[in-house]
Amino acid sequence: MLLMEHESKELLEKHGIKTARCIFVQDENEAIKAAKSIGFPVVMKVASREILHKSDVGGVILNVNNESEAKKAFNKLMSIEDVEGVNVQPMLKKGIEIIIGVTHDEQFGSVLMFGLGGIFVEVLKDVSFRLIPLTKQDAEEMIKETKGYRLLEGCRECKGDVNALIELILKVSDVVENESILEMDLNPVFVYEKGYVVADARIVVGNKKSFKEKIGDISFFFNPKSVAIIGASRDPRSPGHTIVENLLSYKGKIYPINPKAEEILGLKCYPSLGDVDSIDVAIIAVPSKNVVEIVNECAEKNVKGIIVISGGFAEGWEYGSELEREIVEIAKSKGIRIIGPNTMGVLNPENGFTSFFSPITRMNLKTKLGNIGVLSQSGAFANFLLFSLHHIGFSKIISIGNKCDVDEVESLNYLLNDKKTEVIAVYLEGFTNGRAFYELMKKSNKPIVVLKSGRTKAGKKSALTHTASISTSDDVFKAACKQAKVVKVRDYDELVDVVKALSLLPLPKGDRIAVIQPSGAECVMSADAVEENGLRLAEYSDKTLERLVELSPEWHTISNPLDLYPIIEKSGDKAFFEILEIVANDDNVDAIVTGAFISLLLKQDFRWLKKIEKPILFTFKDDLEMFRQAKMKVENLGFPVYSTPERAIRALKHMLIFV
């Protein structure tokens, strides 16, 4: 329900927010009395729940100077359609115009918007968002990230009281937390050199959506004592075959279910679920139309969890949505959990358990046990990460597809509690419970890196037909990531770049970067990238400089970025590791981005470098087979490799979020 202006302002005043209080009147004499009590000149405004834009209907009269003008104004305003009364308020001194708004996002709940008025909001859409409640730091950052902030800071002979604004934002956050408020528009707020006043206010009250969620334990999906594969097949091209193949090294009991086969890949086959002993997890890889029946059989067998690999559910057609609802109903009634449908499911490199149907065994892809936990809505995306980072190592991978039951919140919660997981990579197309996901991200003490697709209108349309998810506004999610101190990346490469660095390296202590490169071109490009990413080039200590000068030909200028080539020409390539050690041990240096000569990397052992507790990121092209060998060697020794200094420097920028 929309409150009237005077009601809105009363509510705000009750919480200590300074408004240009207005007196609501419904007859001429009251209006004159009100104007007199405020003192001429006054502003008179139409009051109505139906009128959203008062100016557009001629509903705001400024500079009402005396009784007769007040009378005239009152009568004019009362003749406007839908009028309920008139508000009388003092004329305000003009300040910098600010807008503070609150909306109730379908996925993230109460969101606060801040922006400067006029051109900034109307022409430039120069606004920032934060989820409510905000901290003082959130409020400060959201003000500073608008372009209009420069105006508040002081320029063009005006200046705004930023501290008072921060206080106002925090109070608005409080009001929304404590009252049943869905929407709010404080527009405009005048900000002065000292203080502010809310000139106009609209508040919509109502019941807020609850984002409470019972977060179940899904850990049993990663180490079942027994697993059945329904749809196990002898055809190597079929998912039901590949899953069995990928499970061959798993130590639990494996029951391929296929009424027509005696055995598959040396494992005895069973005609139906009824023919096997107890089953912890069932993997279903049969056409969607047959899945309801299978889920019923699972229910009879008291299966704990089901992973539905098959597509053809809500991502495709309306009947698929019905099928999904049906299997969820059956499962819920029996306390069975479901991952999927339309997914790869899980992969646990520690024990070899997996429901992945990509031919990882056939490709001889050895997945190292490591510290990267993956939560991916898309199975294919999880699979890409497996290709790119199998040698860096994963703790657990979970892909949740249409998330008819197990959702992103439970999955993230699982990874947060998983001891082997130290870094979390997330790919999502839409949220089931954005607010609960945000709360978890915020609580996390493990670094999280998120790629959220379906950002654009076109993107969203495609998301609807893929995993049947509805994207939320990218602005709000961007704000959520900032508040939760989570890295939000734009594409696959960026995700891999950051996750790799976080997995292998210690965090830098600061933003002073040393760049060492074998060519001048890479030095110049690196310097651009350091500045464009908001980092600083470290200034070497005297001790470092002295030694670098000794190693260099007399004509070479030592600087940061450091051009290696002339040094190697004079002192030989063995000088490289010495330089790296000197620079890394320089107290003025927080992180190192270094190129290297590939032949040198291939022939030297440099695992001792790991003792230096600063991040060292290597950069060289991996276009040729020899280069790729060098990359694998360097990454296996624990240092991430990037194809360009720009990518390494971008990864470093993101690492600093966690410092």
- Judged by CB under 8 A, does residue 561 bind a second copy? yes
CB of 224 to a second copy, least distance (A): 26
**Given 50, 262, 542, 623, the residue binding a second copy (CB under 8 A):** 623
**Positions 210 through 269 that interact with a second copy (CB under 8 A):** none
Which residues make Cβ contacts (< 8 Å) with residue 402, sequence separation at least 6? 313, 314, 315, 324, 340, 341, 342, 343, 467, 468, 469
Residue 116's DSSP bridge partners are: 98
CB of 511 to a second copy, least distance (A): 13
Q: How many CB atoms lie within 10 A of CB 448?
A: 26
- Judged by CB under 8 A, does residue 316 bind a second copy? yes
What is the C-alpha separation between 438 and 390, in angstroms, rounded?
28
- 1 within 8 A of 205, measured Cβ to Cβ: yes
Phi, psi for 199 (deg, rounded to 5): -80, -40
**By C-beta, is 112 or 481 nearer to a second copy?**
481
- Judged by CB under 8 A, does residue 566 bind a second copy? yes
**Given 226, 571, 588, 644, the residue binding a second copy (CB under 8 A):** 644
**By C-beta, is 508 or 595 nearer to a second copy?**
595
Q: How many CB atoms lie within 10 A of CB 221?
A: 25
**By C-beta, is 345 or 379 nearer to a second copy?**
379
**Positions 268 through 287 that interact with a second copy (CB under 8 A):** none
Beta strand 201-205 with 181-191: parallel, antiparallel or unpaired? antiparallel
What is the C-alpha separation between 389 and 638, in angstroms, rounded?
12
- Judged by CB under 8 A, does residue 124 bind a second copy? yes
**By C-beta, is 316 or 352 nearer to a second copy?**
316
**By C-beta, is 62 or 363 nearer to a second copy?**
363
What are the contacts of 623-626 at 24+ separation with CB within 8 A?
A: 626/598, 626/602
**By C-beta, is 82 or 632 nearer to a second copy?**
632
- Judged by CB under 8 A, does residue 461 bind a second copy? yes
How far does Cα 44 stand from its chain's mean position?
Answer: 46
Which residues make Cβ contacts (< 8 Å) with residue 610, sequence separation at least 6? 637, 638
CB of 625 to a second copy, least distance (A): 8
Give the closest residue to 646 by CA, choosing from 531, 567, 545.
531
Output the six-digit token pair for 511: 């933003």
- Judged by CB under 8 A, does residue 527 bind a second copy? yes
CB of 656 to a second copy, least distance (A): 17
User: Tokens 């000794």 correspond to what residue?
Assistant: 550
- Judged by CB under 8 A, does residue 102 bind a second copy? no
- Judged by CB under 8 A, does residue 119 bind a second copy? yes
CA atoms within 13 A on the CB side of 121: 17
Number of residues forming the site for a second copy (CB under 8 A):
89
How far does Cα 39 stand from its chain's mean position?
Answer: 52
Helix (H) or strand (E) holding 187: strand 181-191
- 183 within 8 A of 270, measured Cβ to Cβ: no
- 15 within 8 A of 49, measured Cβ to Cβ: no
**Given 1, 53, 56, 155, the residue binding a second copy (CB under 8 A):** 155
Binding segment (CB under 8 A) for a second copy, from list 102-110, 136-144, 273-281, 485-493: 485-493
- 181 within 8 A of 111, measured Cβ to Cβ: no
**By C-beta, is 119 or 369 nearer to a second copy?**
119
**Positions 379 through 418 that interact with a second copy (CB under 8 A):** 379-381, 384, 387-388
**Given 235, 319, 366, 550, the residue binding a second copy (CB under 8 A):** 319
**Given 82, 122, 177, 275, the residue binding a second copy (CB under 8 A):** 122
Output the six-digit token pair for 488: 């939000």
**Given 40, 192, 211, 565, the residue binding a second copy (CB under 8 A):** 565
Q: Looking at 497-563, which runs of residues are DSSP E strands?
A: 512-517, 536-537, 562-563
**Given 85, 148, 373, 508, the residue binding a second copy (CB under 8 A):** 148
What three-state secondary structure class fits 177? helix
**By C-beta, is 41 or 393 nearer to a second copy?**
393
CB of 307 to a second copy, least distance (A): 18
Q: Would you mind telling me the total number of residues written for the chain in this entry?
A: 659
**By C-beta, is 372 or 525 nearer to a second copy?**
525
**Given 455, 478, 509, 610, the residue binding a second copy (CB under 8 A):** 455
**By C-beta, is 273 or 425 nearer to a second copy?**
425
Eight-state DSSP code of residue 213: -
**Positions 568 through 587 that interact with a second copy (CB under 8 A):** 569
- Judged by CB under 8 A, does residue 421 bind a second copy? no
- Judged by CB under 8 A, does residue 491 bind a second copy? yes
- Judged by CB under 8 A, does residue 199 bind a second copy? no
**By C-beta, is 17 or 152 nearer to a second copy?**
152
**Given 8, 288, 371, 594, the residue binding a second copy (CB under 8 A):** 288
How far does Cα 536 stand from its chain's mean position?
Answer: 26
